[in-house]
Structure 1
Amino acid sequence: MAEKGIIPVKLSLTEGDFYTLWAPLWREGGNEWQAFLGAGDDLYVFNSPEELLVYIESEEKHDLSSHPEWQKFNSGDAARVVPSTNGELDIVGAPALLADRPSYANVKTISRVFAVMRSLGNVTASSPVMVFFSSHSVLGNVDRGPDHYAGPNGLSEWTAIGRAVVPNWNGVVDALDEAITIKEVSSLFVEDAATRIAEAQAATEAAREAEEQVAKEEAEKIDPYDNSPWAVAGIDPVKISIDGRTVYTLRTYLNGQPVFLGKFGEIYTFNSQKSLLRWLVEHDDHDLARASTWSDLMLGINAGETQVQVHEDNVYSFNGLVKDINTSVDAVDTKQMARAYELMADTADWADDDSMNSYFLANPRMQDYISYMLGGSDTSGYVPHAPFNDHSEGWRELEEMLIKRFSKF
């Protein structure tokens, strides 16, 4: 067992379940020590964690009070006397585990039982216990873990442990039954101890649930896309829904400027994610190829390990905007319009043409309308009013400029 300090344990012996405190091996003053709760030659056990708590809160002296970790242990809440699952040791039932296969759980449980049994034997100077362990060296191999029994000789060695335990175990357990002292405490304080233990356990559980909730919320803040090959490369798949169709392409930013999958102002677009990946495997003559991370991204694509992932920030929908613009100012989803306009501006910047600028010079009211809708300050006091058909037609012209840049549509 890897426990350190002072830990509560539950010992299942012939007469039932008993609770005590165990201090596994520790080093002090150049010597090694181990101990259980007790005084002198007596090892104290209790019928319940509540009785154990009542005792250690009394002024009665015991050997563990001189342990270097005692003050730290005894400053804990009332639930400090309640064993964890690993601290619940079915000593009487140990042979049954050896009759089963050497699973992870069985090997670990037997290892913990043997560790406490050895310690009990040494602390109480119980000859039957000490002789049993010293006479069967095969028992020590359980501390090597489950993997030790996974080899070709593992099952036979596990069986050898069972052959050593079965005929001797009753005698060992009887020796421990004789070595313990069932300590009695005043029943007046047991009910209060039970209440305080329950409250401490409830508080611990509430704290654990709160920590799990915080951890869950933090995990939810982490965007899975951030760990994708696309995010690592800084090159994003883009999904565009416009004029009743949907196309896919790629985009990155180099030195703050947008760069699309394409060449000479033409954006290479695809009607499915699979067709986009197939094209990338067979072609490398495009502007994105000059990105320093492109070759790394292509390693995964060529190996068939990288699939298209479109982050919600890279989804652009133009659907319904022309109709909404023609209806009223309030009918327009300005967030949708802003993102659509962002995409159109990016494509124009990448293509290095002034078609959008020329359009707005020729149609200043359309520029005022977009500035007003997107919260711009330079609208020269302009406020849109019905009819809005000029604005809807103007927006449609901007969409057509974008579509003309697509290789396939």
Structure 2
Amino acid sequence: MSTRAILPIKLSLTEGDVYTLWAPTWKENGTEWQAFLGDDESVLAFASPAHLLSYLEQQPQHDLTDHPSWGHFQMQGADRVVPRERDAYDIVGAPSYLAGRPSHENVSRLARVFQVSKSLADVGTAEQAQIFFASHSILDSVARGAEHYAGDNGMNEWSGVGRVVLANWADVVRSLDGVVRDGGAALSEASVADAESRIAAAEQKREQERAQKEEEEKAAAAARDPYDESVWATAGIDPVKVSIQGKTVYTLRTYLGSSPVFLGKYGEIFTFPSAKHLGRWIVGNEDHDLAGVSTWGEIMNAANAGELDVTVHPDNAYSFSGLAEDIAEGPEAVDTAQMSKAYELLADAADWAADDSLNSFLLANPRMQDYLAYMMGATESAGYVPSPPFSDKSEAWVELENQLIKRFSKF
């Protein structure tokens, strides 16, 4: 059943399809209520949603006026009177659901027809229909769903429901027909036509909004980084690729707070010539600093299950290629983003190894320290401007690269 408080519905009765409003059971002051759009005499039904909307706009008083959610319902758009597909109830055609097997579709549709029919019978005092539902407890099981009819006796019970409906349903429909009357007899053609136009406009707007939302969701899905769904992202441990001095190596790194931790031990970074070599090595080795990280078990579980794909995110790929040559050529030739990223790896490695080799080198070469600050936009470079020749800066950068390479287990 829908969780909406007031539903526009379509009912298929003897005279054809009609539209009305239904308020399924709600509680007020400790008492349960249910209602349809109606007056003191009958439940009111209409030939179309436009007739229904026109009536609501012209008749402020009816049986739903006092419903606690009536004000909210009225604040919605003109298409508030248009039923969803699942809110169409084929009361006349109910026996056809029982002609087939107790599939999810047949059982769920029949359950909804029983629900609205019983509610209509109780609200409108359709005596024959009330007696029918009160006299046959076998009907109650339909609300349990198709699973109820999946057992050994399921088909027998489903057939039992069919026999009860076949013998009595015509009387039930006639009883329900008697409590529903056309509420649109006094409506003008002009008011109905106007309502129809506004409903169409509201439906078009809603469809445009739905399409726009769908496009936004597709765009968001396309923009979503697949890496974010990987075990690496979940564990917060990342494969790292380093291209330096003509070779490429792979390793792992995470951060504990702001402190880097590499796959390695005692200041030595364990490196591998390919991602596959790295993935195979992980399975049989636990003697390294990352093994103490709380999420390392997630990586091991994936590796032992054969589900670990060592994929390097672009953010964790570091290229030193050509930097020394570009530095020698001049500041304009240097890709500062590449340099900044490469320096990040140099600093992380030194930080993890807990030695001062990087800082000591820069302290011993203050012009190189000024150069790096200038190139990477640090504020402490104010007043310094690199000037040729730049060969000393290139040589100093190569020395920084060599410091990093010395930390690699294999190169």
Specify the code of the residue in structure 2 equivalent to 1:337.
Answer: M
TM-score by length of 1: 0.86
What amino acid maps onto 1:121 in structure 2? A
* CA shift for structure 1 position 374: 0.8
**Alignment of structure 1 residues 270-309 onto 2, 5 Å:** 270-295=272-297, 297-309=299-311
Contact 1:91 1:173 in 2 (8 A): yes
Q: C-alpha separation between the residues in 2 aligned to 1:320 and 1:166? A: 85
**SS in structure 2 at match of 1:375:** coil
Alpha-carbon distance, 1:115 to partner? 0.8
Q: Does residue 406 in structure 1 map to residue 408 in structure 2?
A: yes
Q: Gapped runs of 5+ residues in structure 1?
A: none
* Structure 1 residue 71 corresponds to structure 2 residue 71: yes
Aligned partner of 1:201 among 187, 203, 210: 203
**Residue 86 of structure 1: aligned partner:** 86
Letter in 2 for 1:197: I
2: CA distance between counterparts of 1:228 and 1:180? 59
Contact 1:322 1:395 in 2 (8 A): yes
In the other structure, the counterpart of 1:96 is 96
- Seen in structure 2, the aligned counterparts of structure 1 residues 265 and 31 have a Cα distance that, compared at 3 Å, is closer
- Displacement of 1:392 in angstroms is 3.4
Q: Shift of residue 256 of structure 1?
A: 4.2
Q: CA deviation at 1:283?
A: 2.1
* Match in the other structure for 1:262: 264
Shift in CA distance, 163/247, structure 1 to aligned 2, threshold 3 Å: farther
- 1:319-364 Cα distance to aligned partner (Å, 9 max, x none): 3323433444223221111010111122223334444345445544
Identity in percent: 56
SS in 1 for 2:5: coil
Bigger shift: residues 65-74 or 241-250: 65-74
Aligned equivalent of 1:190: 192
Across the two proteins, how many residue pairs are aligned to each other?
409
The alignment status of 1:125 with 2:128, answered yes or no, reads no
Deviations 1:179-214, CA, capped at 9 Å, x for gaps: 421222221211211222233334444555666677
Q: Which residue of 1 aligns with 2:243?
A: 241
Report if the CA contact (8 A) 1:37-1:63 is conserved. Answer: yes
Partner of 2:164: 164
Distance 1:374 1:91 in 2: 75
Q: CA deviation at 1:303?
A: 4.2
Instruction: Give the Å deviation of 1:23.
Output: 2.4
Q: Which amino acid aligns with 1:288?
A: L
CA contact (8 A) 1:3 1:24 kept: no
Q: Is the 8 A contact 2:13 2:92 kept in 1?
A: yes
Match of 2:333 in 1: 331
1:239 maps to amino acid: K
Secondary structure class of the residue paired with 2:251: strand
Cα 1:58–1:292 change in 2 (3 A) is closer
Residues 295 and 62 of structure 1, relative CA distance in 2, 3 Å threshold: closer
AA partner of residue 195 (structure 2): A
Cα shift readout 1:16-61 (whole Å, capped 9, x = no counterpart): 2110112223445665443322223322211111111111221374
CA distance in structure 2 between the partners assigned to 1:284 and 1:4 by the alignment: 56
Q: How far apart are the structure 2 equivalents of 1:254 and 1:69?
A: 52
How many Å apart are 1:166 and its aligned residue? Answer: 3.3
Tell me: CA distance 1:327–1:92, structure 2 relative to 1, closer, same or farther (3 Å). farther
After superposition, the CA RMSD in angstroms is 3.2
Q: Distance in 1 between matches of 2:129 and 2:295?
A: 67
Alignment of 1:142-157 (within 5 A): 142-157=142-157
1:39 partnered with 2:36: no
Give a deviation string over 1:55-81, Cα, whole Å, max 9, x none.
122137433334444334334332221
Instruction: Give the secondary structure class of the aligned counterpart of 1:139.
Output: helix
Q: Give the match for residue 14 of structure 1.
A: 14
| 1:278 aligned partner, one-letter code | R
How far residue 366 of structure 1 moved from its aligned partner, in angstroms, is: 3.2
What does residue 374 of structure 1 align with?
A: 376
Question: Do 2:126 and 2:178's aligned partners in 1 also have CA atoms closer than 8 Å?
Answer: no
| Alignment partners' CA distance in 1, 2:18 and 2:402 | 83
Quick one: distance in 1 between partners of 2:44 and 2:291? 76
Name the SS of the counterpart of 1:40 in structure 2.
Answer: coil
Whole-angstrom distance in 2 between the partners of 1:165 and 1:207: 43
Paired with 1:33 and 1:177, the residues of 2 have a C-alpha distance of 22
Give 2:51's aligned residue.
51
Which 10-residue stretch deviates more, 394-403 or 229-238? 229-238
Distance 1:125 1:298, change over 3 A: same
CA distance in 1 between partners of 2:400 and 2:151 (Å): 72
How far did 1:302 drift? 3.6
Q: Please give the alpha-carbon distance, in whole angstroms, between the structure 2 residues aligned to 1:37 and 1:203.
A: 27
Deviates further, 384-393 or 73-82 = 384-393
Deviations, residues 115-137 of structure 1 (Å, cap 9, x unaligned): 11112222333333233333432
Normalization by structure 2: what TM-score? 0.85
Of 125-134 and 188-197, deviating more is: 125-134
1:107, CA displacement in angstroms? 2.0
Name the amino acid aligned to 2:120.
L
Deviates more, 1:135-144 or 1:59-68: 59-68
* 1:115 corresponds to 2:134: no
User: Which blocks of at least 5 consecutive residues in structure 2 are unaligned?
Assistant: none
